[in-house]
């Protein structure tokens, strides 16, 4: 969720006010500037929400980043976030981890139900299926596309459904290189369609909540519920368009093929 990252960066990073960055505070001065208590400052520091101050002898010196963090902590607490969730949010942001999980949006993005579990396959089983067609080039391409992963004495299959479909198409007579070519093409188109759908949802639903501040915790719950409702509708649109497009493409290709055959017969002496 890049809007969240940019917002945190603006408050925690170099976009803090120049005067605040240039200022130095004792713990008492920092607490007054942030309109909180010295006890809270120390509690937040003990819990990992604030970086440690610079020590000058026995005096702890805080800077603009500490003030920005304290102000953000106050805003998040007002919006219904717990100390634990704020700490997790800061840790995810500083470590470059996925913020969707922290904000409770991971399930909405992933979709309802459990994700597909990877399968396990012995290399000899794969050889039995594809025989001599399973050469080094095919294996390399399958690995590059994420269809197979070598895991010690066996192969890990990230998507058993995708592999099962490929096996059936191969048994129907489609060569492995052609299947891999088409998968690569399909993936490129699907990623483009997915990016467009996500941009539409983010632009109209997520951005209004993340213009200048993080939404309240209950707003994120509402957003998560809304995304969960939208996902099957989006999949329904894609499925309907595929159901429309496949027969049209098949009729077009078959008609053209039959037309050429008939033309060939008519042109025979």
pLDDT score of 114: 65
Query: 90: closest CA among 166, 206, 4?
Result: 4
Which helix (DSSP H) or strand (DSSP E) does residue 25 occupy?
none
Q: Which residue has the tokens 């996500």?
A: 198
pLDDT-derived band at 104, boundaries 50, 70, 90: low
- Which residues are CB-contacts of 260 (< 8 A; sequence separation ≥ 6)? none
pLDDT score of 105: 54
Residue 214 has pLDDT above 70, yes or no: no
Mean pLDDT of the chain: 79
- Alpha carbon distance 54, 25 (integer Å): 10
Q: 60-86, pLDDT tens digit by residue?
A: 899 888 888 888 888 778 877 788 878
Q: Which residue has the higher pLDDT, 207 or 34?
A: 34
DSSP alpha helices (H): ranges in 34-145?
Answer: 38-46, 64-78, 83-95, 99-102, 106-110, 123-130, 136-144
Q: Are strands 154-157 and 119-121 parallel, antiparallel or unpaired?
A: antiparallel
Q: What structural domains does the chain harbor? A: 2-103 (1.10.1660.10), 119-266 (no CATH)
pTM here is 0.57
pLDDT score of 140: 94
Residue 95 has pLDDT above 70, yes or no: no
| List of E strands, the chain | 54-56, 59-61, 119-121, 149-151, 154-157
Q: 184-202, pLDDT tens digit by residue?
A: 999 999 888 888 887 887 7
Could you say which DSSP state residue 105 is in?
-
Q: Which residue has the higher pLDDT, 212 or 210?
A: 210
Which helix (DSSP H) or strand (DSSP E) does residue 51 occupy?
none
| 104 backbone φψ class: left, alpha, beta (φ>0; ψ -120 to 50) | left
Give the Å distances, CA to CA, from 52 to 20, 26, 82, 136: 17, 12, 21, 54
Give the Å distances, CA to CA, from 118 to 71, 136, 148, 149, 155: 44, 23, 10, 10, 10
pLDDT-derived band at 135, boundaries 50, 70, 90: very high
Q: Which residue has the higher pLDDT, 123 or 106?
A: 123
Residue 261 has pLDDT above 60, yes or no: yes
Distance of CA 72 to the CA centre of its chain: 25
Rg (C-alpha) for the chain, rounded Å, is: 28
Q: Which residue has the tokens 């579990």?
A: 117
């Amino acid at each position: 969720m890049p809007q969240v990252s940019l917002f945190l960066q603006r408050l925690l990073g170099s976009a803090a006010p120049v005067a605040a960055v240039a200022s130095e505070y004792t713990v008492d001065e920092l607490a007054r500037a942030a309109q909180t208590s010295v006890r809270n400052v120390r509690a937040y520091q003990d819990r990992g929400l604030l970086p440690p101050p610079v020590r000058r002898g026995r005096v702890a010196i805080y800077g603009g980043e500490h003030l920005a963090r304290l102000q953000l902590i106050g805003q998040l607490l007002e919006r219904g976030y717990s100390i634990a969730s704020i700490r997790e949010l800061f840790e995810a942001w500083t470590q470059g981890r996925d913020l969707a999980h922290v904000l409770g949006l991971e399930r909405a993005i992933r979709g309802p139900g459990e994700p597909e579990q990877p399968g396990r396959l012995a290399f000899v089983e794969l050889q039995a299926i594809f025989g001599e067609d399973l050469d080094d080039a095919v294996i390399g391409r399958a690995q590059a596309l994420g269809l197979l992963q070598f895991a010690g004495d066996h192969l890990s299959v990230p998507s058993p459904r995708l592999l099962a479909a490929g096996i059936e198409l191969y048994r129907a007579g489609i060569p492995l290189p052609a299947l891999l070519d088409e998968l690569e093409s399909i993936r490129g188109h699907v990623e483009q369609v997915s990016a467009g759908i996500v941009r539409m949802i983010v632009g109209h639903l997520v951005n209004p909540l993340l213009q200048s501040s993080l939404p309240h915790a209950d707003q994120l719950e509402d957003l998560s519920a809304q995304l969960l409702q939208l996902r099957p509708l989006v999949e329904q649109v894609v499925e309907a368009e595929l159901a429309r497009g496949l027969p049209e493409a098949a009729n077009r290709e078959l008609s053209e093929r039959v037309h050429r055959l008939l033309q060939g017969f008519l042109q025979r002496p």
